[in-house]
Structure 1
Amino acid sequence: MAELHGRGICHGDFRPANILARISGLDGLSEDEVLAILGKPDSTKVVTYSHEDHNLPTAPRYLVYPVDWNSIATNTTLPHFISGKACIVDFGESYDMTSPVTELGIPQIYCPPEYTLEGKVGIGCDLWALGCTLFEIRTGRKLFATFDGDADEHLCKVAKVLGKLPEPWWSETWEQRKHYFKDEVDAEGRVISVYSGSNDKSPGPGVIGALVFQNPEPRSLQEALAEGLFYENTHGPGGIQRDISRKEIEIFSDLLLKLLRYTPEDRPSASSLAEHDWFKFSKLEDP
């Protein structure tokens, strides 16, 4: 991101799905040689809603599942094909910093409040998305996940974790806010739900079945990180679950707080972030 911004370019759609790992060691191999290494692709037939074959020219006959790179990476009998180099892709929403676009195609969960509430586009949008992306890559979880990209639900998640939005967003711009939160905050500076009972169990917009028990939502970045990491198994049930050390939670939350400041001008440049302590970790240990 620092390289892009240094060249006067904003990505406009920065998120984990647009960061790829570079593959090496397969160039120049024949198809048979590649299949011998990666295995024969798994596929499934495409049928109609009534489970019948089709001859439609507008639909494929079959779908091919992606390569299971996790299994290949952990197979000690195979060479190491996944390099340590990351590639940023999908520049369909990118724009020149001097000529910001009027709209972004980035999913709501990576949008900063200034864009959601005011339609303001700029370098700050990339930096906010970077904060959400770093959290997601490290934990395997989305920081401000919503049911269906609902803007009000997203703002509720943001306010619960980061606190009351500044004026005039809180009292005027966010028109639906009064339906979810009171004007004032509690003694700890946290937003207060208008629903009775525990703030943490109160339903928000877009939530179906509010009476179903849910774990309390995190009310700070440190609480969100304390839930640890969980990487889903993309080819079956289960996944990998780990704790995050208290030391890292303290340092990483500091980095994220800088990127997720409500005022876009207060967010640090991407180039300055390289000096943050979180990027200098060589060994994570609890004090």
Structure 2
Amino acid sequence: MAAQPKYAPSNLDHVEDLEKYWRNGFHPVHLGDKLDKVDSKRYRYGVIHKLGYGGFSTVWLAHDLINGGYVALKIVCASQSSYGVPPAVESILDSHPTKIFVTELHRFLIQGPNGHHVCQVLPVTGPSLLALSRVPYRLRPAVCKKLAREGAQALEFLHARGLCHGDFTASNLVLAVSPTLHQLSKQDLLKLLGTPLRDTVHATGPKTASAPEYVIQPADLTRLGPSYLTDSLRVVDFDQVFGFRKPLPPGIPPNPGFRLGTPIASLAPEVIIEGAAGPASDIWALGCTLFRMRAGIQLLGEWHFNMASNVLEDIFDVILGPPPPKWTRLQFRENGWPIASPRSGKDKNITTHEYGQEPLDPDEDLKAKVYGIWDENRSRPNTPGKRLKSPSIFWKVDPNVVPHWGNVDGGFPHIHPDEAAQFLHLLRRIFVYNVTQRITAAEILKHPWLARVKR
């Protein structure tokens, strides 16, 4: 029997799981909280807004009360007391010449009602490429290619040193902010970001100190505008980093196999079916990310409901076509994950799927998706697709006039056929079943789609 919920659902759309405000869960945070005590009278950080959340942490915008400027505070669940990137990995990340990888500045511990929490102090960054590649925002094509090149360079750097990122998705690729952001007063920064939206937390039973008085919707970082956002990429979140060379150097995490934390819609088929994570699965995730960046939508259908079997069906029957013989007949558990060893006989908890029996639908395959990308209208300034008051990095449309997939309603043009042909060629080098034939990050950087991108 499922446990009774401890809190009533929030009225805000984008907030963390309230049920994690409990023993060993999230730390309750309020605006104005002061953290990291320096001495009997001073604290180092003052919380001024919320930046985001995940399954194991909440992230807050804080004012550095000692040195000035701003930082991000990632406060981790108490159950993750050993949380953090191993020093051997962090040393590699910090050695990148342009500091593209966002690593912690330092850390401290918080003792709260739900336990001891690691708090990572991180540089402030701008919005993620996920936020900039869904309605109402789209990355400008030229900027998309520049960021794509920097993303491929980041993977090339990691792979050359025996590391895989493990979760190279649009949510973990962000824009760098301008240094001038740190010159803003707290009042001016909050004026840019807008008043934080709050919602009171209501307990379903006796009220405790485990939860905050209210939850806050994360700030919309696109509001920082052209003065405080750059078109340079930063890579975040190294929880899934692992090494693939043998023997593993000291301090490098091993291959997680089936436990790889990449979202299912960006998992390579060899990881879903065989747990075979590696550089090639990073490249597959990059391919999904490139499509998301350029098209403004997810490559695989939104219908899969977080089921691995449905993702495979999209890959085999819609995107790429028949899989290799070893994958044409797969057995799945009730949770949609394939079983490693096929079972004979009847088992009501096991279902068998056969793939590749039908030809690809030319209206839905990879080519159709690429050539169906709708684009910014730069020639008709009065159309709904015009650039609004947004930084030149991205453009914005009225969500009420976004065209249906594959048509040009509302004055939106399609991607230019020449670019579509190049982009499709690149994706077809990425989305292949044989990992030995999948393009590498170094080869992506030489591909014609990126050939003329400013380095």
Mapping of 1:78-157 within 5 angstroms?
Answer: 80-98=227-245, 99-102=254-257, 103-145=259-301, 146-157=303-314
Q: Distance in 2 between matches of 1:162 and 1:268?
A: 16
Equivalent residues of 2:328, 2:356 under 8 A apart:
no
Q: How big is each residue's C-alpha offset from its partner over 1:115-147, in whole Å with a ceiling of 9 and x where there is no partner?
A: 111111211110110111100111111111343
Distance 1:258 1:279, change over 3 A: same
Give the match for residue 162 of structure 2.
8
Distance 1:227 1:248, change over 3 A: same
Letter in 2 for 1:68: D
Match for residue 272 of structure 1 among 443, 447, 454: 443
Match of 2:232, SS state, is strand
Equivalent residues of 2:370, 2:420 under 8 A apart:
yes
Equivalent residues of 1:22, 1:83 under 8 A apart:
yes
Match of 1:91, SS state, is coil
Q: Distance in 2 between matches of 1:135 and 1:267?
A: 16
Q: How big is each residue's C-alpha offset from its partner over 1:144-172, in whole Å with a ceiling of 9 and x where there is no partner?
A: 13432111110111111101001111145
Following superposition, the deviation at residue 71 of structure 1 comes to 4.3
Equivalent residues of 2:242, 2:256 under 8 A apart:
yes
Equivalent residues of 2:199, 2:215 under 8 A apart:
yes
Give the match for residue 158 of structure 1.
315
Q: Distance in 1 between matches of 2:193 and 2:431?
A: 43
Q: Within the alignment, does 1:177 sit opposite 2:353 as a pair?
A: yes
TM-score normalised to the size of structure 1?
0.74
Q: May I ask how many residue pairs the two structures share in their alignment?
A: 242
Letter in 2 for 1:22: A
Equivalent residues of 2:201, 2:211 under 8 A apart:
no
Following superposition, the deviation at residue 89 of structure 1 comes to 0.7
Letter in 2 for 1:249: A
Following superposition, the deviation at residue 97 of structure 1 comes to 1.6
Match of 1:85, SS state, is strand
Give the match for residue 64 of structure 1.
216
Q: Distance in 2 between matches of 1:108 and 1:117?
A: 12
Whichever structure has more strand as a proportion of its residues is 2
Match of 1:265, SS state, is coil
Match of 1:279, SS state, is helix
Q: Within the alignment, does 1:34 sit opposite 2:189 as a pair?
A: yes
Percent of residue pairs bearing the same amino acid type:
28
- RMSD of aligned Cα (Å): 3.1
TM-score normalised to the size of structure 2?
0.48
Q: Distance in 1 between matches of 2:399 and 2:370?
A: 23
Following superposition, the deviation at residue 27 of structure 1 comes to 1.6
Match of 1:125, SS state, is helix
Q: How big is each residue's C-alpha offset from its partner over 1:6-63, in whole Å with a ceiling of 9 and x where there is no partner?
A: 2211001110000011111212433123234x1442312224388xxx9542222233
Letter in 1 for 2:216: V
Whichever structure has more helix as a proportion of its residues is 1
Equivalent residues of 1:112, 1:128 under 8 A apart:
yes
Give the match for residue 372 of structure 2.
227
Gaps in structure 1 of 5+ consecutive residues? 74-78, 191-199, 201-216, 283-287
